[in-house]
Amino acid sequence: MVRKMIRTVATTPFDDQRPGTSGLRKKVSVFQQPHYLENFVQALFDTLPGARGKTLVLGGDGRYYNDRAIQVILKMAAAKGFGKVLVGRDGLLSTPAVSCLIRKYRAFGGIILSASHNPGGPDGDFGIKYNTGNGGPAPEKLTDQVYRNTREITRYLIADVPDVPLGRLGNHALGDMVVSIIDPVADYAGLMESLFDFDRIRDLLEEGVFTLCYDAMHAITGPYAHAILEDRLGAPPGTVINGTPLPDFGGGHPDPNLTYARELVEIMNALSAPDFGAASDGDGDRNMILGKRFFVTPSDSLAILAANAALAPGYREGLKGVARSMPTSRAVDQVAASLGIPCYETPTGWKFFGNLLDAGKITLCGEESFGSGSDHLREKDGLWAVLFWLNIIAHRRLSVEQITREHWQRHGRHFYSRHDYEGMDTHIAMEILADLRDRLPRLKGRRIGDHGVVLSDEFSYTDPVDGSVSEHQGIRIGFEDGARIVFRLSGTGTSAATLRIYLEKYEPDPARHDQDTQAALADLIRIANELSGILARTGRGGPTVIT
């Protein structure tokens, strides 16, 4: 590149650019401040030696500011010396697709522009995160260095070149760097076809008896679902609803749960409901699975995928192991025990699964927050989970409810729920956790109502691959009957705080499997509220979201 095309811009640090578990997330208005995005990108690039001449993957979920941010990052990537940048047409790439592209083309890394399931639009949220050469989220060591760089930055480098036409497929020169605008779906769709029995799924759909509805929530998976479900697998037009990505997600909250995916839930609860329903989130890495008037918890979904994995061509050789995040129910543990394979319990955050996947210790993994995945990528993958379920149904020819109930019959049912208190005053949320932490030593051995406490600690994880230690990963209270309560502060918001309470009770007796989940967990809910004092301290009548 001719040096005169690179401009050096003087800048000063911002004090709020510490990346979280999923990169840096802030309000759009924060990212729109002069130099804000540029500072963070330069701080990132300054941590990446050896990038000159290499390939970078770049794309996002189409939320507001996605297109402008991509132009800035392209010009800064040219100044950094990258040789090529692969960009999804119109700047669109799902998070799983970015991981797919990094791995397939052996890219140096990738930048994903998304705030996942958080709302979009001019008053919504925006985010940026970096994935390394394995396709997975950057480790803490790298993001910690990025943060240190943001505190010391004095300048950033940017190429003084025209914008790239993001809607035109093909190669475009940006100085000495090539920007390759690619079909955002093709490589990902090819990977899915290699993992699942598309012929059998196509037969199921073309028979015209089985019906489904997929809600893309006006987010990134719309183009992927149209191309795979309708075009490749033959589902009728209209199967995919809300399939056009919009900068504000159509005014919705692109979080695939029973609260925010209202349209799909209403469709699936109707008398004329389709046989199968599913939804994915803003950037395409989460999923919700529904049958006719039947909800499958993400924890049960992971366990069912593991138990039926041999039905999918990509997993016929068996599972090396499985992993779940600590707050996720222990349903998959039962499956692992029956298969004679290891089950790992990790902190929340996909990067913890990445080490296990890279080391060949696990094949499937998942979190209760509607995310599941496997060794095909280094990200959770919403549409992959949907296709996995369709693969199982196509082979077993049973309904979603029948498959789930048969699973409970064999492995027992883990009644499980998560209560989210969103938009809390951060001080109050931290105070609640601090008080619980102080009480932990005195809880073990106590009886609370009919429940004897056998575990009261704060989860700490030692990575079996690299030996790194992650502390303060959630407060756990376990009871003698195997029930448990977990308290944890979410790390995915951009303002205020979200305190999450996880409740789990194992029931081996099939005669008790038909209980309502909240009724089955009523004692645990009461204990959690009493221990935390959350209702009195917040003045609320209950959680914002129950899943």
Residue 490, pLDDT score? 83
Domain count, the chain: 3
Provide DSSP, 522-540.
HHHHHHHHHHH-HHHHHT-
Alpha-carbon span 95 to 23, nearest angstrom: 13
- Residues with active-site annotation: 116
Q: Is 170 exposed, middle or buried (0-12, 13-18, 19+ CB in 10 A)?
A: exposed
Instruction: For 292-437, list the strands marked E by DSSP.
Output: 294-296, 322-325, 343-346, 364-367, 371-374, 413-424
Mean pLDDT by 10 residues, the chain (547 residues): 78 95 93 98 97 97 97 98 98 98 98 94 96 94 96 98 96 96 98 98 94 97 98 97 97 92 97 97 96 96 98 97 97 98 94 93 96 96 98 98 98 96 92 95 92 95 92 95 94 72 96 95 95 92 89
Contact 330, 504 (CB under 8 A): yes
Residue 349, pLDDT score? 85
Handedness of CA 177, 178, 184, 186 (dihedral sign): negative
Q: Domain with 490 in it: what CATH number?
A: 3.30.310.50
Residue where one domain finishes, among candidates 184, 199, 231: 184
Question: Rounded to 5 degrees, what angle do the CA atoms 231, 235, 241 make?
Answer: 90
Residues 215 and 340 in one domain: yes
List, in order, residues 6 or more apart from 361 with CB less than 8 Å away.
Answer: 320, 321, 323, 342, 344, 464, 465
Residue 171, pLDDT score? 98
Residue 61 one-letter amino acid: D
Residue 64, pLDDT score? 97
- The domain containing residue 517 runs over which residues? 413-546
Residues 221 and 369 in one domain: yes
Residue 3, pLDDT score? 58
Q: What is the pTM of this model?
A: 0.94
Question: Rounded to 5 degrees, what angle do the CA atoms 521, 332, 191 make?
Answer: 130
Backbone angles phi, psi at 455, to 5 degrees: -145, 130
Q: How many helices (H) and strands (E) does the chain have?
A: 18, 27
Residues 140 and 268 in one domain: no
Q: How many CB atoms lie under 10 A from the CB of residue 321? A: 19
Q: Which of 272, 24, 266 is nearest to 150 (CA)?
A: 24
Residues 135 and 29 in one domain: yes
List, in order, residues 6 or more apart from 228 with CB less than 8 Å away.
Answer: 185, 189, 192, 383, 387
Q: Which of 359, 350, 194, 229 is nearest to 285 (CA)?
A: 350
Residue 65, pLDDT score? 98
Residues 526 and 385 in one domain: no
- Tell me the pairing of strands 276-280 and 212-215: parallel
Backbone angles phi, psi at 128, to 5 degrees: -145, 135
Residues 192 and 120 in one domain: no
Alpha-carbon span 473 to 348, nearest angstrom: 8
Question: Rounded to 5 degrees, what angle do the CA atoms 385, 390, 395 make?
Answer: 130
Residues 417 and 407 in one domain: no
Report the half-sphere exposure of 82 (CA within 13 A, side-chain side).
Answer: 29
Residues 379 and 281 in one domain: yes
Residue where one domain finishes, among candidates 411, 435, 465: 411
Residues 172 and 41 in one domain: yes
Alpha-carbon span 311 to 96, nearest angstrom: 22
Alpha-carbon span 459 to 473, nearest angstrom: 5
Q: Domain with 197 in it: what CATH number?
A: 3.40.120.10
Residues 249 and 119 in one domain: no
Residues 400 and 263 in one domain: yes
Q: Is 327 exposed, middle or buried (0-12, 13-18, 19+ CB in 10 A)?
A: buried
Question: Rounded to 5 degrees, what angle do the CA atoms 289, 499, 297 make?
Answer: 15
The SS3 of residue 243 is: coil
Residues 421 and 391 in one domain: no
Contact 501, 436 (CB under 8 A): no
Q: Is 131 left (phi over 0), alpha (psi -120 to 50) or beta?
A: beta
Alpha-carbon span 98 to 377, nearest angstrom: 9
Residue where one domain finishes, among candidates 158, 184, 210: 184
Residue 451, pLDDT score? 92
- Copy the structure tokens of residue 518: 């909240």
